Amino acid sequence: MKAIPSSDLEKFFDVPFLFVFTPFQEELTLQVTAHLSSFHVFDCSNKALVNRLNKLQQEEITFLFSQAETSLFIYADRLKSFRFLSKTMRENNLKFLAFGQSKLRIEAMAKEAGTEGWYFLLPCFSETIHRVGVFNAASFLSRALVYGMRNEVGVAFNPSAMPWLVSGKSHRINKPEYLEKMLVFLAMNSHKTLAYNEIGTWCGSDNETAQRYVWMLEDYGLVVPLKAYATGKKYEYLKGIRVGFLDNGVLNYYRNNWAELDFRADVMELWKNWIISELIKKDQKNGVKNAYFFWQSHTRQSIDLLVFSEDGSKKGYLILWKTKRAINPPPLFIKYYPDIPIYVINPSNYLTFLMP
């Protein structure tokens, strides 16, 4: 999958059909419809609408979707009949756009249609600074750490539209409340080293279910799981996972805390989550396929983020908020991996790492 370019959206969406994965359906819909002259939006999170669409015959599909230049399906991965519907529309040269919340599902739908899937992410910090100017970076940063990057288009996070609350057992989620409890637990422990049985115990499930749910949340584009990196050296964590959120607005929703930075005790956690998500999002927007890990020892030494590039290069990052003391990389990591450079990211130098 490739990221949708932030520029020339009007030209990009002027295609016969398109499949896009995004956890931010409303934001993308607002941006797309601003560039369309004639369109109908079909919200496939609406059960009544889905039931009607699933019963359409070929002639009815041709008539209904020819009434506007473009048919836009949001939450399209929830429509069982979309395979038949899209095939009929393509055969009749009817233009449509399909947005979905499951990356795997959208990839499969695009492949079946003989095309590639795309994904849409909220603006990177570098894109925002390019628009508002570098001198406004500090004021925007304070807002981004609390409300996230989705606040750019003025659309609030809508938890009621989450797939597990709407589609029930279609993703083998028999008890959606487990997943909601998991999101709260992950938000309160963002980028802390956890075990799957620890997550499962909190949610009332076993560790295998907890693991499946975490990777399902990644498929929905809500969380960013980091596996532990280890090569069997002494004292290294061999297992464990750290989970962050792709957007701080979602993180703070599940933390149930919208206080400003001056009134919060978790600024370091917000900062770390935001920096890691921005670094990963920057790579995704640039089409760079990197692997991401964390490193930790049983002697409480750790690296917040390890980035392994396709070309074999490796980098490590320590992410700090404000500190007056000098920070040195963990000596055990330097001993084991002297060829991996370590960079410290803090509020005085973060622009160097986030800008192109």
Domain residues for the domain of 141 are 131-354
Q: 136 and 249: one domain?
A: yes
Which stretches within 95-206 are classed as H helix? Answer: 103-112, 125-132, 137-147, 163-166, 176-188, 196-203
Q: Mean pLDDT in the chain?
A: 89
Q: Which residue has the higher pLDDT, 35 or 338?
A: 338
* Domain-ending residue, one of 52, 84, 119: 119
Determine the pLDDT at residue 169. Answer: 46
Determine the pLDDT at residue 251. Answer: 95
* Domain-ending residue, one of 97, 119, 141: 119
In the DSSP assignment, the letter for residue 330 is: -
Res. 331: pLDDT tops 50: yes
Q: Which residues contact 127 (CB under 8 A, 6 or more apart)?
A: 6
**Lookup: tokens for 121:** 């992410």
**H or E element that contains 268:** helix 267-285
Determine the pLDDT at residue 168. Answer: 45
Share of the chain above pLDDT 70, in %: 94
Q: 105 and 212: one domain?
A: no
From 311, 9, 270, 3, select the one nearest 141 (Cα to Cα). Answer: 270
Res. 177: pLDDT tops 90: no
| Residues 106-127, mean pLDDT to the nearest whole number | 90
Res. 288: pLDDT tops 60: yes
| Residues 201-206, mean pLDDT to the nearest whole number | 88
What amino acid is encoded at 174 in this protein?
N
Least confident of 32-36, 38-42, 58-62, 257-261: 32-36
| Alpha carbon distances (Å) from 81 to 51, 74, 78, 163 | 10, 14, 9, 17
* Domain-ending residue, one of 74, 93, 119: 119
Q: 176 and 82: one domain?
A: no
**Lookup: tokens for 327:** 């920070």
**H or E element that contains 87:** helix 82-91
Q: What are phi and psi of 241, to 5 degrees?
A: -145, 145
The model's confidence at residue 106, banded by pLDDT at 50, 70 and 90, is very high
Cβ atoms of 216 and 104 within 8 Å: the answer is no
Inside any domain, residue 126: no
Cα–Cα distance, 222 to 22 (Å, whole number): 10
Res. 15: pLDDT tops 90: no
Say how far residue 120 (Cα) sits from the centre of its chain.
Answer: 9
Determine the pLDDT at residue 166. Answer: 65
Q: Residues 138-171: pLDDT tens digits?
A: 788 888 999 998 755 456 677 777 877 765 444 5
| Residues 215-221, mean pLDDT to the nearest whole number | 92
Res. 10: pLDDT tops 50: yes
Share of the chain above pLDDT 90, in %: 65
**H or E element that contains 248:** helix 248-255
Q: 194 and 161: one domain?
A: yes
Cα–Cα distance, 44 to 53 (Å, whole number): 9
Helix and strand totals (H; E) in the chain = 16, 12
The CATH number of residue 112's host domain is: 3.40.50.300
Work out how many domains the chain is built from and give that number.
Answer: 2
Least confident of 12-21, 126-135, 154-163, 268-277: 154-163
Determine the pLDDT at residue 24. Answer: 86
Res. 84: pLDDT tops 50: yes
Q: Is 31 helix (H, G, I), strand (E, B) or coil?
A: helix
Q: 115 and 143: one domain?
A: no
| Residues 104-127, mean pLDDT to the nearest whole number | 90
Q: What is the residue whose two structure tokens read 């297992």?
A: 239
| Residues 52-73, mean pLDDT to the nearest whole number | 93
Label residues 241-278 b or e (16+ Cβ within 10 Å = b): bbbbbbbbbbbbbbbebeeeeeebebbebbbbbbbbbb
Inside any domain, residue 124: no
Q: Which residues contact 257 (CB under 8 A, 6 or more apart)?
A: 264, 266
**Lookup: tokens for 102:** 């499951």
